[in-house]
Each structure stands twice: as C-alpha cells, then as structure tokens.
C-alpha cells in the first residue's frame, strides 16, 4: 500500500479532502430546510385558505365540495355541462390526477365549496379578467350552445 501511495500522492490528498468534506457535510442538517418541507406538506394536505364565496376563485384552485371526500382542481369558470342548459360557476377535475376523462369532470357553483386548500395563480392579468369580465357578467343563458348574457 505504501508503494502505491508513493507514486501518486496527489490522488491520496484529493481522496482525503473529499472524505473530509463528505464527513463534515453528512453530520449537518439545515433545520430551516426541514421546517419548509414540513410546512409545505402540512399546507398541501390539510390547511385551508380563506376565500370570499362572492368572488370567483382562479383556475388551479384546489377545493373540497360539501359532502365530498376527494379534492378537485378548478379548471374552468362559467361552464355548461355538455347537452344541458345549466350554467355553473366552475368546472373541475380530480386533484392531483387532472383531466383523465370527460366523464370525470365536475360542474358546481360557489355555494357547493366547503374548503379551499389552495388558491390558483393570481397576477394582474387574472385580477383584470375577474374584474372586467367575470364580475360584469350579470344573468346568463345558453343560446345556440353558447353562454351569453340575457341582456342581448
């Protein structure tokens, strides 16, 4: 062994440095990382966020409906189920699976929401859309397969 080390001292030194670094890093744990992971897990699985049932939730929001046992994700607003003349506030799909089949889509109104677990992405474009379009809709109806304002 000594004869092997005499011929390659730089390899031995490099090996010892790597071992020292790995040993030093292995004993330390960043407690703030652990807290973030735990908080993230708690928030995504059981914590709810406040919401105003008079306002539309953004696409991507994760909710549980009254009487439901599985969370769903909002993927559309002001929707009509195919072959019906009923207009709903939201359409949604299973969370976390997503849209797996059109028969697994949910249509519901704001008053059916029991818990909001996550609010979807909101930026200025979303806020403008909600203010300028969704909040100004008034009464709606389906005419020739299209959702339109009753005023027209």
6-61 tens-digit pLDDT: 555 555 555 555 544 555 544 444 333 322 223 333 334 568 898 888 888 999 99
Report how far Cα 31 is from the mean position of its chain's Cα atoms: 26
Tokens of residue 42, six digits: 């708690």
Going by DSSP bridges, is the β-strand pair 113-118/72-80 parallel, antiparallel, or unpaired?
unpaired
| Nearest in space to 95 (alpha carbons), one of 21, 34, 44 | 44
Whether residue 102 contacts residue 75, with contact meaning beta carbons closer than 8 Å, is answered with no
**Can you give the pLDDT at residue 132?**
79
**Can you give the pLDDT at residue 6?**
56
* Spatial separation of the C-alpha atoms in residues 92 and 76, rounded to whole Å: 7
Rg (CA), the chain: 27
| Nearest in space to 52 (alpha carbons), one of 129, 107, 130, 105 | 130
What is the band of 144 on the pLDDT scale with cuts at 50, 70, 90? low
**Can you give the pLDDT at residue 27?**
44
**Predicted structure pTM score:** 0.64
How many CA atoms lie less than 13 Å away from 59 in the CB half-sphere? 13
């Amino acid at each position: 062994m000594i004869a092997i080390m005499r011929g390659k001292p730089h390899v031995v030194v490099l090996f010892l440095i790597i071992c020292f670094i790995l040993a030093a890093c292995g004993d330390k744990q960043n407690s703030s990382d652990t807290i973030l992971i735990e908080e993230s897990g708690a928030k995504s699985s059981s914590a709810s966020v406040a919401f105003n049932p008079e306002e539309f939730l953004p696409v991507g929001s994760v909710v549980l409906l009254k009487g439901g046992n599985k969370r769903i994700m909002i993927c559309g607003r002001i929707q009509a189920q195919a072959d019906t003349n009923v207009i709903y506030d939201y359409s949604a799909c299973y969370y976390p699976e997503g849209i797996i089949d059109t028969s697994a889509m949910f249509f519901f109104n704001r008053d059916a929401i029991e818990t909001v677990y996550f609010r979807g992405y909101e930026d200025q474009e979303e806020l403008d859309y909600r203010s300028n379009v969704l909040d100004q809709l008034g009464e709606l109806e389906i005419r020739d397969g299209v959702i339109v304002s009753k005023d027209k």
